[in-house]
Structure 1
Amino acid sequence: MSWRRALFSKESNYNPVPTAWDYATSNIVEDGSFIRILNAEGNWIGGRVTGAAYFTSYPEPRDVFIDEAWRLDEDGTFIDQISGPAGVWVPCTDARLVQIIPPPPPDPADDA
């Protein structure tokens, strides 16, 4: 078996995605996932990301454009959407924590 076949086989744990940031952000659902970022100053920034959101990829620094900004409390709990801004750009290079939260499941009552 060639080294290339061994490296890219299902038995290998090698992943060609260059960074964990690229891997995590490439799998974000565009239909309403939430993201919250604990910045270096200890403040939470976050919101809902849809198809208009943007995540940088390698070799650029880790940044995100959150297209629907939300107000978060001191514990990082989402309070409500901030009306007015068209979105918020957040540099994540020095972030202490970045969490991606999938959208809530659809409410069956909405189908009735």
Structure 2
Amino acid sequence: MRHGHHFRTPRHCRIRTRAHLKGSSVLGSERRSTSVGGAPSTVAQLALLVVVVLPGVTYQLIRERQRGPSPGERDLSERVLRALAASVALNSIYAVTLGPWLVHSYETNTSVSGLVPHLRLTGFLCLLLIFVIPAIAAWVVSFVEQRSLRGSYVGTPTAWDHIFRDCPPSFIRARLKDGVWVGGWYGDQSFATSYPHPPEIFLELEWRLDADGRFLEKVEKTQGIHLRRDDIDILEILEN
């Protein structure tokens, strides 16, 4: 009778193999948990991120709209820092005034199904805390600052835009940098560029002017005149 050879795995080898498999499974679970650890994984984390960041962004946008951009805010990083600082201040006020009530209302509702009964209240609070209160705060601060100033901020970017934004049909004359006067009629078919394009104007009717800038006569057989701001020394709009 032949007897087959039976090889038994040593005990220490089996133990090492199981420990190795156990370590591999733990390592795999750690890798899976770390891969999703960098982004918000629950509704509560996402809502917390929105509430922390957006109030300052709303405040900063309304402030720039009311007061205008300051020289220190031309850099994007400076604007982000100001928005974050405003968010910290607003969230601190929210925590002092509404913190206990919010914790009591949502302490047992951290899942989506738990937030459904409070969906209307959650939407109202987001609208109030993220948009309404920061906008009101920015408007109040800007109003107080403007009361102490003689001038006020206007959103029109340049004086050229201010002139031609609501300019009625009228005669316009310009003295060029070489001393020559030119001009014409600014009407419905005329056109003036606006920011950020270079300042230019098209007058639909060209008139001939004398050396002192007085209108003499209409130039015939012409479809208008085009002027560039870089070539103009003085621009004057005459009342009808």
- What TM-score results when the alignment is normalised by the length of structure 1? 0.79
How much has 1:63 moved relative to structure 2?
A: 0.8
Q: Does 1:29 align with 2:164?
A: no
Please identify which structure carries the higher helix content: 2
Query: Can you list the C-alpha shifts for 1:29-72, whole angstroms capped at 9, x where unaligned?
Result: 03xx0101111111111011110000111111111100010000
Matches of 1:4 and 1:42 in 2, distance apart? 48
SS at match of 2:160: helix
Q: Does 1:2 align with 2:141?
A: no
- What TM-score results when the alignment is normalised by the length of structure 2? 0.39
Matches of 1:51 and 1:87 in 2, distance apart? 12
Q: Does 1:52 align with 2:189?
A: yes
**Aligned to 1:87, which of 213, 220, 224?**
224
Question: Which of the pair has more CA radius of gyration?
Answer: 2
State the superposition RMSD in angstroms. Answer: 1.9
Number of equivalenced pairs: 99
Written as runs of structure 1 = structure 2, the 5 A alignment for 1:71-86 is 71-86=208-223
Partner amino acid, structure 2, of 1:27: D
Matches of 1:99 and 1:67 in 2, distance apart? 16
SS at match of 1:41: coil
SS at match of 2:185: strand
How much has 1:14 moved relative to structure 2?
A: 0.7
* Structure 2 residue ranges without an equivalent (≥5): 1-135
SS at match of 1:22: helix
Contact 1:22 1:58 (C-alpha < 8 Å) held by counterparts:
yes
SS at match of 2:162: helix
Partner amino acid, structure 1, of 2:180: N
Q: Which has the higher contact order (CA 8 A, sep 6+)?
A: 1
Query: Can you list the C-alpha shifts for 1:3-28, whole angstroms capped at 9, x where unaligned?
Result: 34536xx9661110000000011121
Structure 1 segments of 4 or more deviating over 2 A?
1-7
Matches of 2:137 and 2:236 in 1, distance apart? 39
* Structure 1 residue ranges without an equivalent (≥5): 104-112
